[in-house]
């Protein structure tokens, strides 16, 4: 019997059915088990290594490497000039000898030989197991047990000269040397002006000990001299973090220059002659607050030759748009400017390199003067001889220079028509620009390392969806030896699938952007999935892989996708130095906002292209600069992004370091003449230089929050100070906004062993707010090492 419902009740039933259907559409259960199964760490354990990492043997065409695959871990010896590859030793034999010594069995397929090092001259290698040192003689297959390792190795403080004649070290912030061949050698003190924050130690923080410490020294190849770059930090303001996990909470103090501050690190370079017990300070002063050498944290930018007569230095002004290439006489300290360059808004330090040919007969220099990074040739006097490379592509690192054949081997990006412009390729060219050759023809990313002696190259080439092939190439690019091929069969058998590359447009409608998409392995194209964007704004790197990998980008995004999301990562204008100077410098002066429109427009294009992407459920996350960007996106487009997880974000770049904020956003120098009294009570005029470097902050946008925001920071992060997140939290509270926040105790910028905990926190957060899955009792069954 059927009963007819009144029209009002029919209407109510339809509403109820609509609610049920809607609830079922959005209340999906997150697949935590699949996310756990396909984490990057577990995939790496299943598959093993994804590339060959060579240990080239000095002045030879040989190297050794270890590689793990489905057969376990093996060690190999390669002679590229023959070419040939062989097992370095019999691992079953070694496992048996270790079993005898320790009276316990060893798995020959998974030997943990720590600090492995191969000495070809003596045909033996060394390693340690369970803190016991061992030496294995290949002749006779003899395993020799050594001493127990100390908590700190006894020779950690030693920096040997290349000929092993001298040892340099520091004590009480000063510099010492001693003869290496005599253990009872007298210590020779070379300096007396070292102090905390202007030290010769490798680490210049305070020390209450007068023990020998590692010194910040760099030996010339002829072993006659060494040089030290010392930074005067004494006037720079201090910053602090508190480690609460010791017996007592402990204050950590460090120097940290912030944008626009008057006092920054002041660089000084000194050259020492240990035999003469003398030194000279190089005459490098020119600009106020200049820097000598490299960019981020002052790496690189100082170049040696085999002879210790001269040192070559890149000198930059504080705005990083003016650069001098200096040639310094290490005997007198005098310097000359070989050539100078101005590059606005700033000089790209990613590939800044100077190659010194035949002790200064010629120079090879990298420049973006045409808007594209290219190589140029200068004579001994610093006069331009010729352009070596040209075109609308970017030259990367120089892999090798054959001076006898006047040939340069180098990487470059974006030259090959129709290829992903982020793919690294290997090329060669003569000094005069002739005989330009492409040496890596496969359509893939090629990671190149050069041999110590001849013109041979190890090439790990792959794509995100094509596992790595590791080969040896000769000078003509011909593959002469195949080393390894990554086998993904075991992963495919449990359902693994490779991510997908895609291409979209930037918000200007014309600039091509590139990215990678991860989908659930039980993907159903008829379903609707929330989309989550993993972001990093650059400008030194973009957030998507171009090579085959199982961890890093892919491992974490792949696991997140298994919950029931489409996860994407793609570039934005201003993000990468691998493309044109215009593309790279796009965000200058707009450090907060420049990547946001491209990310939003990119998601909109993908949603229009794929019916399985639900543009009404959008998440975004990132770490460090990505933490900054993900929050900025949520607050700038509050009606578009629904959820953000922002970790270790530099939300207020006004309290971040000058190498990021001033270089990439800009700094203005102001000069003012003031009158003051001198020591003789006479009025004198003095020029005062100050700087301004304001950067737009996420704190200014706090009132815009509509969606869900999770802020995470380590409480002893001495890179991006926790104050960045705390200031944002303060503004959100003032604006009456609901948000979530987690401080990870005792964690630095990368979160260290707490990373797995954070990853699962991120899973929960997106599952709750994009899938309406609020389960809080999911057991993850952590691997033993993560518990």
676-720 per-position pLDDT tens digit: 878 878 878 777 888 888 899 999 999 999 999 999 999 999 999
Location of each CATH 3.40.50.1820 domain in the chain: 499-652+697-775
Q: In the block, which residue shows the tokens 């396909």?
A: 38
For residue 194, give every residue at least 6 positions away whose Cβ sits within 8 Å of its Cβ, in sequence order, or none: 170, 172, 173, 174, 175, 200, 201
| Residue 299 banded pLDDT, cuts 50, 70, 90 | low
The dihedral of CA 438, 440, 444, 449: what is its sign? negative
Give me the pLDDT at residue 150, please. Answer: 62
288 versus 416: which is more confidently predicted?
416
Q: What does the H/E/C string look like for 93-121?
A: HHHHHHHHHHCCCCCHHHCCCEEEEEECC
Domain 499-652+697-775: give its CATH superfamily: Alpha/Beta hydrolase fold, catalytic domain (3.40.50.1820)
Give φ, ψ of 14 to 5 degrees: -60, -40
Describe the strand order of the beta sheet including 132-137 as a list of residue ranges. Answer: 114-119, 124-129, 132-137, 142-148
pLDDT at 779 over 80: no
Query: Is the pLDDT confidence value at 722 over 90?
Result: yes
pLDDT-based confidence at residue 628 (cuts at 50, 70, 90): very high
Q: Give the pLDDT mean for 254-259.
A: 96
Percent of the chain topping pLDDT 90: 84
- 59-69: per-residue pLDDT in tens? 899 999 999 99
Round to whole Å and give the CA distance between 239 and 237. Answer: 7
Place of tokens 């014309």: 510
The C-alpha atoms of residue 623 and residue 491 are separated, in whole angstroms, by 28
Going by the DSSP 8-state scheme, the letter that residue 452 receives in this structure is S
Q: Calculate mean pLDDT across residues 630-645.
A: 98
Q: Is residue 23 scored above 80 in pLDDT? A: no
pLDDT at 456: 97
* Pairwise CA distance, residues 228 & 330, whole Å: 12
Distance between first and last Cα of the chain: 61
Q: Tell me: pLDDT of 24 over 50.
A: no
**The pLDDT of residue 676:** 82
- The whole-number pLDDT of residue 27 equals 59
Question: Per-residue pLDDT for 296 more than 50?
Answer: no
CB within 8 A of 79, min separation 6: which ones? 61, 62, 85
Structure tokens at 12: 């109510």
pLDDT digits (tens, 9 = 90+) for 37-53: 999 999 999 999 999 99
Token pair listed for 770: 């994009």
| pLDDT averaged over every residue in the chain | 92
Average pLDDT over residues 740-767: 96
Pairing mode of beta strands 566-570, 529-534: parallel
pLDDT at 671 over 90: no
Write down the residue that tokens 């996990």 correspond to: 245
Better-scored residue on pLDDT, 606 or 21: 606
> What is the mean predicted confidence (pLDDT) over 740-755?
96
Give the per-residue pLDDT at 295. Answer: 57
Considering only residues 772 and 690, tell me which one the structure prediction assigns the higher pLDDT: 772
What is the rounded distance in angstroms from the CA atom of residue 168 to the CA atom of residue 675?
48
Q: Distance between CA atoms of 649 and 622, rounded to whole angstroms?
A: 8
pLDDT exceeds cutoff 90 at 477: yes
What's residue 149's pLDDT? 67
pLDDT band at 147 (very low <50, low <70, confident <90, very high): confident
Task: Give the pLDDT score at 689.
Answer: 80
The DSSP secondary structure of 654-705, one letter per residue, reads: GGS-HHHHHHHH--EEEEEEEEEE-TTS-EEEEEEEEEE-----GGGGGGG-
Q: Is the dihedral of CA 69, 71, 75, 76 positive or negative?
A: negative
CB-based contact 229:216 (threshold 8 Å): yes
Please report which confidence band the pLDDT of residue 507 belongs to, taking 50, 70 and 90 as the band edges: very high
Please, which pLDDT band fits residue 210 given cuts at 50, 70 and 90?
A: confident
Which residues are CB-contacts of 639 (< 8 A; sequence separation ≥ 6)? 706
pLDDT at 552: 83
Greater confidence, 1 or 478?
A: 478
Residue 345: is the preceding peptide bond cis (ω within 30°)? yes
Distance CA 256, CA 269 (A): 21
State the Cα–Cα distance between residues 675 and 396, nearest whole angstrom. Answer: 50
CA distance 500 to 231: 46
What does the pLDDT read at residue 21? 43
Q: What is the mean pLDDT of residues 603-618?
A: 98
pLDDT of residue 119: 84
How do strand 643-647 and strand 613-623 relate by DSSP bridges? parallel
Classify residue 382 as exposed, middle or buried by CB count within 10 Å of its CB (0-12, 13-18, 19+): middle
Whether 123 shows a pLDDT value over 50: the answer reads yes
pLDDT at 20: 43
- pLDDT the model gives residue 352: 86
What is the rounded CA–CA span in Å between residue 413 and residue 391? Answer: 11
Q: Let me know: does 320 contact 289? Beta carbons within 8 Å.
A: no
79 DSSP β-pair partners? 62, 84
The Cα–Cα gap between 50 and 552 comes to: 12
The helix/strand/coil state of 228 is strand
pLDDT higher than 90, residue 18: no
Contacts of 140 (CB under 8 A, 6+ apart): none
pLDDT at 8 over 80: no
Please report the pLDDT score of residue 171 as a whole number: 94
pLDDT recorded at residue 454: 92
Residue carrying structure tokens 């599952």:
767
- Per-residue pLDDT band for 440 (boundaries 50, 70, 90) equals very high
Residue 499 C-alpha from the chain's centroid: 22
pLDDT-derived band of residue 778, with 50, 70 and 90 as boundaries?
A: confident
Main-chain dihedrals φ then ψ at residue 93, nearest 5 degrees: -65, -45
Residue 298's pLDDT is 42
How many whole angstroms from its chain centre is CA 478? 31
């Amino acid at each position: 019997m059927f009963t007819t419902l009144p029209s009002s009740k029919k209407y109510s039933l339809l509403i109820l059915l609509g609610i049920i259907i809607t609830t079922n559409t959005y209340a999906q259960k997150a697949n935590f088990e699949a996310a756990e199964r396909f984490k990057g760490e577990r995939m790496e354990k299943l598959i093993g290594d994804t590339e060959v990492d060579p240990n080239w043997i000095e002045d030879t065409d040989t190297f050794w490497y270890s590689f793990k695959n489905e057969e376990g871990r093996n060690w190999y010896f390669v002679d590229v000039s023959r070419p040939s590859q062989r097992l370095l030793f019999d691992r079953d034999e070694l496992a048996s000898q270790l079993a005898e010594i320790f009276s316990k069995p060893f798995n020959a397929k998974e030997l943990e030989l720590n600090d492995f090092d191969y000495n070809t001259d003596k045909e033996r290698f060394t390693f340690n197991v369970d803190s016991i040192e061992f030496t294995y003689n290949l002749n006779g297959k003899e395993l020799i047990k050594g001493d127990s390792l100390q908590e700190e190795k006894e020779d950690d403080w030693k920096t040997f000269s290349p000929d092993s004649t001298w040892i340099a070290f520091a004590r009480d912030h000063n510099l010492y040397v001693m003869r290496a061949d005599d253990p009872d050698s007298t210590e020779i003190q070379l300096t007396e002006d070292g102090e905390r924050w202007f030290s010769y130690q490798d680490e210049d923080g305070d020390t209450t000990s007068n023990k020998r410490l590692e010194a910040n020294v760099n030996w010339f190849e002829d072993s006659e001299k060494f040089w030290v770059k010392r930074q005067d930090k004494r006037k720079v303001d201090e910053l602090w973090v508190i480690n609460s996990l010791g017996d007592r909470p402990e204050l950590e103090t460090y120097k940290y220059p912030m944008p626009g501050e008057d006092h920054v690190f002041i660089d000084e370079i000194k050259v020492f002659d240990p035999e003469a017990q003398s030194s000279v300070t190089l005459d490098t002063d020119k600009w106020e607050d200049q820097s000598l050498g490299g960019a981020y944290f002052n790496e690189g930018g100082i170049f040696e030759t085999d002879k210790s007569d001269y040192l070559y230095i890149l000198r930059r002004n504080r705005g990083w748009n003016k650069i001098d290439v200096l040639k310094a006489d290490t005997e007198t300290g005098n310097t000359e400017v070989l050539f100078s360059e101005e590059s606005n808004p700033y000089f790209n330090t990613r590939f800044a390199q100077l190659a010194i040919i035949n002790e200064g007969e010629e120079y090879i220099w990298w420049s973006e003067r045409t808007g594209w990074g290219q190589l140029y040739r200068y004579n001994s006097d610093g006069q331009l001889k010729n352009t070596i490379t040209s075109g609308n592509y970017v030259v990367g690192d120089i892999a090798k220079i054959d001076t006898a054949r006047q040939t340069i081997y180098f990487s470059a990006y974006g030259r090959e028509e129709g290829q992903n412009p982020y793919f690294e390729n290997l090329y060669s060219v003569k000094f005069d620009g002739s005989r330009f050759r492409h040496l890596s023809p496969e359509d893939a990313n090629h990671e190149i390392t050069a041999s110590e002696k001849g013109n041979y190259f190890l090439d790990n080439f792959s794509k995100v969806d094509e596992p790595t092939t590791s080969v040896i190439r000769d000078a003509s690019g011909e593959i002469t030896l195949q080393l390894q091929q990554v086998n993904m069969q075991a992963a495919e058998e449990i359902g693994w699938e490779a991510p997908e590359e895609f291409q979209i447009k930037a918000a200007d409608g014309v600039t091509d952007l590139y990215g990678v998409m991860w989908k659930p392995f039980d993907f159903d194209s008829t379903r609707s999935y929330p989309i989550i964007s993993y972001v990093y704004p650059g400008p030194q790197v973009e957030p998507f892989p171009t090579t085959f990998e199982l961890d890093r980008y892919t491992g974490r995004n792949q696991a997140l996708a298994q919950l029931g999301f489409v996860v994407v990562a793609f570039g934005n204008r201003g993000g990468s130095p691998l493309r044109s100077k215009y593309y790279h410098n796009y965000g200058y002066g707009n450090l907060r906002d420049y990547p946001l429109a491209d990310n939003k427009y990119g998601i909109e294009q993908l949603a229009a292209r794929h019916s399985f992407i639900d543009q009404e459920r959008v998440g975004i996350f990132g770490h460090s600069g990505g933490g900054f960007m993900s929050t900025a996106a949520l607050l700038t487009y509050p009606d578009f992004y629904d959820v953000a997880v922002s970790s270790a974000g530099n939300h207020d770049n006004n309290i971040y370091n000058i190498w990021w904020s001033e270089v990439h956003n800009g700094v203005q120098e102001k000069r003012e003449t003031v009158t003051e009294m001198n020591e003789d009570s006479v009025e004198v005029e003095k020029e005062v230089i100050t700087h301004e470097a304001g950067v737009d902050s996420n704190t200014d946008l706090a009132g815009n929050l509509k969606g869900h925001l999770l802020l995470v920071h380590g409480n002893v992060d001495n890179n991006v100070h926790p104050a960045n997140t705390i200031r944002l939290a303060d503004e959100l509270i003032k604006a009456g906004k609901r948000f979530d926040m987690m401080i990870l105790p005792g964690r630095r910028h990368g979160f260290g062993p707490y990373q797995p905990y954070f990853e699962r926190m991120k899973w929960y957060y997106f599952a709750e707010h994009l899938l309406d899955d609020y389960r809080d009792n999911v057991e993850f069954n952590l691997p033993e090492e993560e518990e």
